[in-house]
Amino acid sequence: MDYKNYDLIGIGEFSHGIEESWKYRFNLLKKIMKGTNKKITIFQELSIWQGKNIMKNTYYDIKKDKFIKTDKIKIEKPVHNNEYNSPWGKLWQYMMHTSESKICLKIVRYIRKNKNRIRLIGVDNDKIDRDYDMYKIIVQNLKKSHINFFWAHNSHVDNRKLSLDNYKYIKNKSHKWYCGYYLKKKLKDRYCIILSTSYKGENRFNSYCIGKYCEERIWQLKYFYKKFTYNPNKKYVNIKKNVQLLDNFDNKFIEFSNSYYKSNKDGFSKIIKTSTWDFVLFWNEVNRLEPYYNY
């Protein structure tokens, strides 16, 4: 794959709870930084204000209700407000609890160190009805002179309709597509879709989904881990390489949310058949996302 052929490259993760997708993104970022002098923009599935905290060296002070400057990484006591809201981890100023980890902290520090060349923009408006807004933020800030990445879950990166467990809860029913659909419609072949999947591994969760469409979600401040095997993907296992970038993949994708679906023994939320991707990142085996510290 030649990144020069695209205005925007979406790199999806089939789960928020595995480490390999972040390592791949980070290694690619460092490789491009070393191999070119171009500026880089990363549109990431994190809160808009979290992205600003990373880039502006700020943190949000709850008591003062204002953003305060600091060159240090703000590390705080984890907070679990109630059973309905996602918990805040130690690094909530810069990332969601689903991605809080050693590798993501390394990425934050690397971006801050290289702000003369890297621009990070959070695209999540912290609402369920968010994919069309993600699209608008990306298009408004896209610079074709930059190398542009979109880092998010497979579903947001891909050109597909919202899943029923998302569509059911959004207010604007005309926005029935994930962000990648609108990006593909706008940028056409200049938008590259890279989805990811695996054969087996261990996944990290921070909540339980009760019911087929996650009618009830029970958040956990402390992470829990589950192993999985998706046998249909075994035919793509390469004994010489743990990771492959495939342009030929004829199978369904196993995908996890941050929540463990109790209706399925492996906890995955859905199995997707899609043909809209350009490349597929395939891992023989993946490892759980390691937390920044043990809860």
- Domain range summary for the chain, segments of one domain joined by +: 3-286
Instruction: Please give the Cα distance from 275 to 184 (Å, whole number).
Output: 13
H helix count then E strand count, the chain: 7, 13
Query: For 236-245, how does the pLDDT look when each residue is reduced to its tens digit (9 = 90+)?
Result: 999 999 999 9
- Picking from 107, 103, 131, 104, the residue whose alpha carbon sits closest to that of residue 33 is 107
pLDDT, one tens digit for every residue, the chain (295 residues): 788 899 999 999 999 999 999 999 999 999 999 999 999 999 999 999 999 999 999 999 988 999 999 999 999 988 876 655 788 899 999 999 999 999 999 999 999 999 999 999 999 998 888 999 999 999 999 999 999 999 999 999 999 999 877 877 788 888 999 999 999 999 999 999 999 999 999 999 999 988 877 888 888 888 999 999 999 999 999 999 999 999 999 999 999 989 998 888 778 878 999 999 999 999 999 999 999 887 6
3-state secondary structure 144-168: CCCEEEEEEEHHHHCCCECCHHHHC
Query: For 195-221, how does the pLDDT look when each residue is reduced to its tens digit (9 = 90+)?
Result: 999 999 999 999 998 887 788 888 888
Measured in whole angstroms, the distance separating CA 237 from the mean position of its chain's CA atoms is: 24
Query: For 115-125, how does the pLDDT look when each residue is reduced to its tens digit (9 = 90+)?
Result: 999 999 999 99
Give me the pLDDT at residue 82, please. 61
